[in-house]
Chains A and B, each alone.
Chain A
């Protein structure tokens, strides 16, 4: 075995016959997305020696692939083809530095009382209230530019949405968008940014928290795919591969922030299912159904601002779904249009004449994540009867909106996307029905924490990104305050 010491970081690196063994981090963070990027910033700022590992590659405004096929295959896990076991739902999750925050639409909403009180009841965790969360929302919002799209920048798709809502007597409101300088007046089309924003306008963690953390000296390893984690006496061992080389990292503490699927999968692969009986349970995804209205005149939903408005009506909220104006680039749209052949092509030819409203349901049917014999993730997620009822109600309302706006044809896709992946490692005070406690610590495991959307106790029915960041901030405080951690550092 050879050995050397990195003088800058005081890291011990050992070369064994198995590969590299790297030692001496205070905290290793697995996953660099909405949660991991934010968490890394706060923990690094608190003075801890942190390592952030990310399975995907590092891209920037100048290097995002651009073409839909290229970004789908290069920025998403499994080329954007994580499918439920019944083949009815596709789950999209980012695999790149910045994770989901790079490829999402950056809608940044705070949770309402309905969502937070539901979490409090489901988990027994008392900070799930407006009062308990407000300081965390306020803190993370200081690092973000959040804008509403002025009406004069809306495209026709947004106008159809708002006018249709008003004709039916429902309330809508502008979306809170994480963006700083889209320059729509210069003719930019935000649909491009689904594969990463070439202007650095989208408030992904790459341009916010990680940018600041890097300046503060955060160590980041892209293309490190974590295969296994184990609690050991002195901390946590994280094993994985980087460019084909097996590497073991030892850290006194580890925070998992690889998202609902990534974190749960990693814990299942690492054998934590035996001591955590509810691991993988309560998986939710806000199943989304896209509905298209075809109009005589061009709508050009793909041009300009991709999203501007959402439903904001308590009657709709209580029915368990939400509506937003949105659209899809060609490959995604081709997948949403049912069937194939000439009928499919006829729909594709109407691309510029389509308006689109998405129904996202607040799912109550509990999905389950497991692994097969080879360790491959299996996603068992079906819509419960209540979920199906919510979906039907949402689609009925969209049909009424399009009819009120005199759409010539209406296409309601039978295909569903899961973009908000939540649960699998629910937070709660009861170790028999949850995975982490109110301090984000895995039940019964010293030094192991989870701080991403996998800890959601139920589906909130609201865009989750801002709350994931707020929870990451709270987690950073809880981890910092953990008594044992202080003792180690002293």
Chain B
């Protein structure tokens, strides 16, 4: 599978994001995991709107997570998700937002051949423009 590249995130940071992504969206038939769809290849489309401060915070968080075992990251995400502390809720919301945005955009990696999220949830919509 083609390696994701980003102008905003380093290889280590991308690895950490994949790890978090697979905790939030694991492989669970019929759903492919976050990393299997390679939607992370579109990460720069999502990060381009972030201000410098938020991007720096995200990078630091990902670097920290890169060196933690998956089980610890998973536990931390669950604790943060139900936390009463706003800072943890904000981190949890930010990470969930990033992962869900990439995955449920239905955009996948170039080489991905599996089921697409839109097909799994049966989301197919359209509007015919007036002049066609």
| Interface residues in chain A, defined as those with a beta carbon under 8 Å from any beta carbon in chain B | 61-62, 67-70, 72-74, 78-79, 81, 83, 85-88, 90, 181, 183, 186-193, 197-201, 302-303, 329-331, 333-335, 339-342, 344-345, 348-349, 351-352, 374, 376
Chain B, Cβ-Cβ closest to A342: B28
Please tell me which one of the listed residues B45, B49, B81 contacts residue A340 in the complex, with CB atoms under 8 A apart: B81
Contact flag A61-B105 (CB < 8 Å), given A81-B97, A83-B90, A83-B93 = no
Please tell me which one of the listed residues A73, A340, A341, A349 contacts residue B121 in the complex, with CB atoms under 8 A apart: A349
Chain B, Cβ-Cβ closest to A81: B97
Chain A residues near B122 (CB, 8 Å)? 351-352
Q: How many A-B residue pairs have CB under 8 A?
A: 132
Contact flag A200-B130 (CB < 8 Å), given A67-B107, A191-B125 = yes
Residue contacts A-B, CB under 8 angstroms, 22 given: A68-B104, A69-B104, A70-B45, A72-B101, A73-B48, A79-B49, A79-B50, A87-B87, A88-B89, A187-B126, A192-B127, A200-B130, A330-B104, A331-B100, A334-B100, A335-B96, A335-B100, A340-B23, A341-B25, A341-B26, A352-B121, A374-B53
Contact A199 B130 (CB under 8 A): yes
Taking the closest CB of chain A, its distance from the CB of B102, in whole angstroms, is 7
Separation of A85 and B87 alpha carbons in the complex (Å):
8
Contact B48 A85 (CB under 8 A): no
Contact B49 A61 (CB under 8 A): no
Chain A residues near B48 (CB, 8 Å)? 73
Chain A residues near B24 (CB, 8 Å)? 340-341, 344
Chain B residues near A340 (CB, 8 Å)? 23-25, 77, 81, 96, 99
Contact A62 B77 (CB under 8 A): no
Chain A residues near B99 (CB, 8 Å)? 340
Contact flag A199-B125 (CB < 8 Å), given A69-B46, A335-B100 = no
Chain A residues near B114 (CB, 8 Å)? none
Contact flag A73-B23 (CB < 8 Å), given A189-B126, A329-B123, A334-B104 = no
Most chain B CB atoms below 10 A, which of A85, A190, A340, A345:
A340
In residues 14-70 of chain B, which contact A (Cβ within 8 Å)?
Answer: 23-26, 28, 30-31, 42, 45-46, 48-51, 53
Contact flag A86-B89 (CB < 8 Å), given A335-B100, A374-B53 = yes
Chain B, Cβ-Cβ closest to A333: B104
Report if B110 contacts A (CB, 8 A).
no
Chain A, Cβ-Cβ closest to B39: A69
In residues 76-99 of chain B, which contact A (Cβ within 8 Å)?
Answer: 77, 81, 86-87, 89-90, 92-94, 96-97, 99
Chain A residues near B87 (CB, 8 Å)? 87
Taking the closest CB of chain A, its distance from the CB of B103, in whole angstroms, is 8
Chain B residues near A333 (CB, 8 Å)? 104
Q: Give per-residue flags for B102-116: 1 if the beta carbon is below 8 A from chain A beta carbons, else 0.
A: 111111000000000
Chain A, Cβ-Cβ closest to B125: A189
Taking the closest CB of chain A, its distance from the CB of B77, in whole angstroms, is 7
Contact A331 B104 (CB under 8 A): yes
Please tell me which one of the listed residues B25, B93, B106 contacts residue A345 in the complex, with CB atoms under 8 A apart: B25
Chain A residues near B75 (CB, 8 Å)? none
